[in-house]
Amino acid sequence: MAEVRVPQAVRWASAGAALEIIDQTRLPENTTYLRLGSAVETAAAIREMRVRGAPAIGIAAAMGLAVEMGRLARSGVPLGAEAFQEAHALLRSTRPTGHNLSWALERMRCAYARCAGAAAAEVVAALRAEADAIAAEDRLACRRIGELGFELLPPEGATVYTHCNAGALATGGIGTAVAPIYVARERGVPVRVIVGETRPLLQGSRLTAWELSQAGVDVTVVADSVAASLMKEGRVNLVITGADRIAANGDVANKIGTYGLAVLAGHHGIPFYVAAPVSTIDPATRNGGRIPVEQRDAAEVRQGCGAVTAPREVAIANPAFDVTPAGFITAIVTERGVLRPPYSAGIAEVAGQGEGSRPLESG
């Protein structure tokens, strides 16, 4: 079967003078594209989660930085270190938890450093090429994660539970957690997907269900708190989620709710897999306790869908992520191999493979 068709979350527009994203806050009702012509516009789109998913954020930030340098060059502003650093810092400040953002921006910094002193047009071209490479490599990584993850599925088919969106919309390709499902679809292996809606922003029901159903995958949406009883009833064969940051010891920060799913999967004897590109691994973060967890605005819970869903006078806690200790994770699927516990050595190895050519760490 031909390769599955998936939406492209981020792409160039206006011959590289802008990037264009699907506004993910408006799905599934409206498929709207937003043109981002500056670092300020890109940063706002990332902060407002119009583009989200750790790999897609990294790609968008890299493209946004190239776009900004192009914009400054067209205005005659010299592309000095200060201008670069300002745009870099703005984009870097948008979301604190995911690692791909700082990783991609660090690659852009190296690309910029490599062409220091060149003419503006050359600098802009080099930055565009680096952003292109980041996107292209992510696309390949997703495909490879899909192939490797597919091997973990029972050959006769399975019911996979996933959370949030680690699909095409979160990446430059066919996703991470969702990639093995797309590969199964291409190869005619029946995979049924159950996705938790993923409150408060409903990336599971709005995004994952949308892109899977567009690709003809059998998908069912449940409220997040249904997962436990489905596991008890034997209706889930395995759980796969993505990751926003993987620490050196294998602890995984991912969308809030992931840790609970991991504990529940463990309790019910169900494998719990994490799928992510190596760019999500942060070898400089020793363990999950050192990963900053973004707290998002109370309004996401209080008026999540437009309606008043909690009283104005009541406190809200809205952490966007949680940390799953490595001990709950059956395997971590990367494009460079499937890692098994204990993770430290395998993580150091896959993260180190690219170090000669590409910086895989950031401070």
User: Which residue stretch of 83-91, 120-128, 148-156, 296-304 sits at the interface with a second copy (rule: CB under 8 A)?
Assistant: 296-304
Determine which residue in the list 92, 95, 199, 336 makes contact with a second copy, applying CB under 8 A.
199
Would you say 36 or 264 has its CB closer to a second copy?
Answer: 264
Site for a second copy in 298-327 (CB under 8 A): 301-302, 304-311, 313-319, 322-323
Q: Which helix (H) or strand (E) holds 280?
A: none
Select 156 or 313, whichever has its Cβ closest to a second copy.
313
φ and ψ at residue 313, rounded to 5 degrees: -85, 0
Is the Cα torsion angle 325, 327, 333, 334 positive or negative in sign? positive
Instruction: State how far the Cα of 257 lies from the Cα of 239, in Å rounded to an integer.
Output: 12
23 binds a second copy (CB under 8 A): no
Question: What φ, ψ does residue 275 adopt, rounded to 5°?
Answer: -125, 130
Candidates 224, 244, 251, 322; catalytic one: 244
**Cα distance between residue 61 and residue 157, in whole Å:** 37
Q: How many residues bind a second copy (CB under 8 A)?
A: 54
E strands, 197-282, in order = 218-222, 238-241, 245-247, 252-255, 272-275, 281-282
Residue of 194, 196, 199 whose CA lies nearest to 218: 194
Q: With binding defined as CB under 8 A, does residue 283 bind a second copy? A: no
- Residue 205, interface with a second copy (CB under 8 A)? yes
Residue that has been written with the tokens 């889930």 in this structure? 236
**Which CB sits closer to a second copy, 129 or 223?**
223
Catalytic-residue membership of 224: no
Contact by Cβ (8 Å): 242, 164: yes
Q: What dihedral do alpha carbons 121, 122, 123, 126 form, nearest 10°?
A: 120
User: Which lies closer to a second copy via its Cβ, residue 29 or residue 156?
Assistant: 29
Nearer to a second copy, 324 or 334 (CB): 324
Q: ∠ CA 157-158-162 to the nearest 5 degrees?
A: 140
**x-or-dash pattern for a second copy, window 146-185, by CB under 8 A?**
----------------------------------------
CB of 195 to a second copy, least distance (A): 9
Cβ atoms of 358 and 107 within 8 Å: the answer is: yes
* Nearer residue to a second copy within complex by CB, 226 or 338: 226
Please report, as ranges, the residues that interact with a second copy according to CB under 8 A: 28-29, 194, 196-200, 202, 205-206, 209-210, 213, 218-230, 232, 256-257, 259-260, 263-264, 267, 301-302, 304-311, 313-319, 322-323
Catalytic residue positions, numbered: 244
